Amino acid sequence: MKGAWLVDQGSPDITSAFRVTRLVHTEQTPYQHLEIYDSAIFGRMLVLDGAVQTTEREEFVYHEMLAHPALCAHPAPKRVLIIGGGDGGALEEALKHPLEGATLVEIDEAVVRTSREYLAGVAGRAFEDPRATLVIGDGIAYAGETAERFDVALVDSTDPQGSAVGLFAPEFYGTIARKLTPGGLLVVQSGSAMYQRDLIRSVRRTMRPFFPVVRTYVAAVVEYPGTLWSFTVGSLGPDPAVVPPDTIAKRTAGFGLRYYTPIGHQAAFAAPPFLREATESDT
Amino acid sequence: MKGAWLVDQGSPDITSAFRVTRLVHTEQTPYQHLEIYDSAIFGRMLVLDGAVQTTEREEFVYHEMLAHPALCAHPAPKRVLIIGGGDGGALEEALKHPLEGATLVEIDEAVVRTSREYLAGVAGRAFEDPRATLVIGDGIAYAGETAERFDVALVDSTDPQGSAVGLFAPEFYGTIARKLTPGGLLVVQSGSAMYQRDLIRSVRRTMRPFFPVVRTYVAAVVEYPGTLWSFTVGSLGPDPAVVPPDTIAKRTAGFGLRYYTPIGHQAAFAAPPFLREATESDT
């Protein structure tokens, strides 16, 4: 192996490493250690506390799969709340839908600032979209205080450590459920399907009291170690697992998506049998 | 990171690393450097020339996805040829179908011997199955000389280097096409969909003159770096991309599969848009 390697520190027993050609930027923010590298395989990457968060070339898998399944499951989403996701990738995907507004609440201004400066392709022109509102602040407090109601909430967080712990707590899911319109949906990243199955079970168990429908789906997020990544949806109405393929095709026509497809939606919610003990766990 | 890490040497720009607890066995065979480790996440693993080949806990993804798509696409496979695959995992999957016989040709006896001794769970009881024939020898020469004809051929090889180079050559695909019965199918592992897209294109281009139908599908093989792995099928008859889900459900009932499902078959052949330039390339 030649050159410098960035070794992802996200997991105790398996990891990914990427050959990097340049450390572009680094700073200690009040919340985390932030680094931006140029990598040989995935282009520029954002690294928080040693864990790869997003990459220029492959971010679309994670962001498309965070945003579109729930947005397509809702009959007509107009207002979206995004907690975290300061790189703007989830915001860009959400705004492809005919929304009236999307509010992004990121606790760490440095993530937004450095993403906009060094990883501009991840958000595209999302931050300039007149429908977008950017709030720098604590997403948990914001959700508690806002008078607004949302059709879909997306939680684009790091794993449950540091300032993200509260985003996995029952109080937070309860707050979000109260701030959703009837039939609204909450989506959270719920960790690696390979080495964080306890996290998946915990997220499902924690959501259950607040959402009559809880579904977990997976996607191949190749820049994360273990790769098969899980997302969990709590729904007050529609079952996101059974959106008709025709609906998805119609709703996403012209979006220029690179990962999410109608058959991909179906397959994502039908996890392979070896994962079902976790992805279909109830308690 | 604590303890020893096995760093997969399979790719120049991205790699996986696994925390290992014990080097169980190592030897230099006439063909390659062979190591067997106990890993924290995937149990025991077989490593050839520094690249992870198979793991006790996750081998089923690769082996199910190598064997079942083509075996389910064929109306009634009776005779199967496996080139490589000395760990016995593909043989075990193939023998779940009501075959008359399966012949496995492995060039390196050490792979069979050490897999049977240290990784017995990968093959299960496949080598003891009376329908199985084990040949230690050169798969290319064997395919050229055998008087037998096969309904399905599976090539479970390393990447195209060393003794595996010839398994990616036009002469070999031509030989196999002549040794298949009418409507027969050939499946090969065609590399990572993330960092070996040139290999996918090359395999497809090389198969094309011998097989009227060429299809590439993908699976999440989490123990390989880059993870999204590709397989390419050449078919003399049925189109493996369009097997009815009911047929797959019926044909695999009782197999106890952990990854391959009817919806998974469909989704595997409908690669995400960002891969289609490679997986649907014609020349």
CATH code, domain carrying A28: 2.30.140.10
> Do B45 and B101 lie in a common domain?
no
> Do A13 and A119 lie in a common domain?
no
Final residue in a domain of this structure, among A30, A55, A80: A55
Final residue in a domain of this structure, among B38, B55, B72: B55
pLDDT given for residue B1 in this prediction: 44
Residue in A with minimal Cα distance to B195: A41
**B220 with A225: Cβ contact below 8 A:** no
Final residue in a domain of this structure, among A55, A73, A93: A55
**A17 with B16: Cβ contact below 8 A:** yes
Quick check: A1 pLDDT over 70?
A: no
Q: How far apart are CA B111 and CA B25, in angstroms?
A: 12
pLDDT given for residue A194 in this prediction: 83
> Do B173 and B212 lie in a common domain?
yes
> Do A82 and A194 lie in a common domain?
yes
Instruction: Quote the percentage of chain B above a pLDDT of 70.
Output: 96
**DSSP letter (8 states) at residue B10:** S
Q: What is the pLDDT of residues B195-242, one digit of tens each?
A: 889 999 999 999 999 999 999 999 988 777 667 899 999 999 999 999
> Do A35 and A63 lie in a common domain?
no
**DSSP letter (8 states) at residue B238:** S
The residue that leads in pLDDT, A221 or B118, is B118
Quick check: A246 pLDDT over 80?
A: yes
Contacts 24+ apart (CB under 8 A), B173-179: B173/B206, B173/B207, B173/B210, B173/B211, B173/B234, B174/B209, B174/B210, B175/B140, B175/B143, B175/B144, B176/B81, B176/B143, B176/B210, B177/B210, B177/B211, B177/B234, B177/B236, B179/B81, B179/B143, B179/B146, B179/B148, B179/B149, B179/B150, B179/B153
Quick check: B127 pLDDT over 60?
A: yes
> Do A50 and A131 lie in a common domain?
no
Residue in B with minimal Cα distance to A3: B13
Under 8 Å between Cβ of B116 and B88:
yes
pLDDT given for residue A17 in this prediction: 86
H-helix or E-strand spanning residue A110? helix A109-118
Quick check: B261 pLDDT over 80?
A: yes
For chain B, positions 61-90, list CB contacts with chain A under 8 A. 61
Binned at pLDDT 50, 70 and 90, residue B59 comes out as very high
Instruction: Quote the percentage of chain A above a pLDDT of 70.
Output: 96
Angstrom distances, CA of residue A30 to CA of A27, A115, A117, A156, A166: 10, 17, 19, 19, 17
Binned at pLDDT 50, 70 and 90, residue A10 comes out as low
pLDDT given for residue A2 in this prediction: 54
Domain hosting A29: range is 4-55
Q: Which of B17-21, B53-57, B208-212 has the highest mean pLDDT?
A: B208-212
ipTM tops the 0.85 cut:
yes
- The minimum CA-CA distance between B169 and chain A, rounded to whole Å, is 27
Q: How far apart are CA A29 and CA B95, in angstroms?
A: 57
> Do A35 and A91 lie in a common domain?
no
Binned at pLDDT 50, 70 and 90, residue A4 comes out as confident
State how many domains chain A has.
2
Under 8 Å between Cβ of B186 and B168:
no
Binned at pLDDT 50, 70 and 90, residue B159 comes out as confident
3-state helix, strand, coil in chain B (%, to 5): 35, 30, 35
**DSSP letter (8 states) at residue A276:** H
Under 8 Å between Cβ of A135 and A116:
no
| Residue from A8, A9, A21, A41 to probe the interface with B (highest B Cβ count within 10 Å) | A41
Q: CA quadruple B168, B173, B175, B176: dihedral positive or negative? A: positive
CATH code, domain carrying B227: 3.40.50.150
Q: What is the pLDDT of residues A104-141, one digit of tens each?
A: 999 999 999 999 999 999 999 999 999 999 999 999 99
Q: Is B255 on the interface with A (CB under 8 A)?
A: no
Q: How far apart are CA B193 and CA A112, in angstroms?
A: 31
Quick check: A3 pLDDT over 70?
A: no
Residue in A with minimal Cα distance to B193: A222
Under 8 Å between Cβ of B118 and B58:
no
CA angle A12, B26, B11 (to 5 degrees): 55
Least confident range from A133-147, A196-210, A269-283, B30-44: namely: A269-283
Under 8 Å between Cβ of B64 and B187:
no
> Do A37 and A142 lie in a common domain?
no
> Do B50 and B132 lie in a common domain?
no
Under 8 Å between Cβ of A105 and A135:
yes
> Do A109 and A180 lie in a common domain?
yes
> Do A90 and A210 lie in a common domain?
yes
User: HSE of A205 in the Cβ direction (CA atoms, 13 Å)?
Assistant: 9
The closest CB to that of A259, out of B226, B227, B272, belongs to: B272
| A1 contact residues in B (CB cutoff 8 A) | 7, 9, 12, 15
Quick check: B188 pLDDT over 50?
A: yes
Residue type, A254: G
pLDDT given for residue B251 in this prediction: 98
pLDDT given for residue A227 in this prediction: 73
> Do A118 and A244 lie in a common domain?
yes
Q: Which two tokens stand for residue A72?
A: 């397509």
Under 8 Å between Cβ of B89 and B64:
no
**A1 with B17: Cβ contact below 8 A:** no
| Residue from B14, B261, B266 to probe the interface with A (highest A Cβ count within 10 Å) | B14
The residue that leads in pLDDT, B283 or A6, is A6
pLDDT given for residue A108 in this prediction: 97
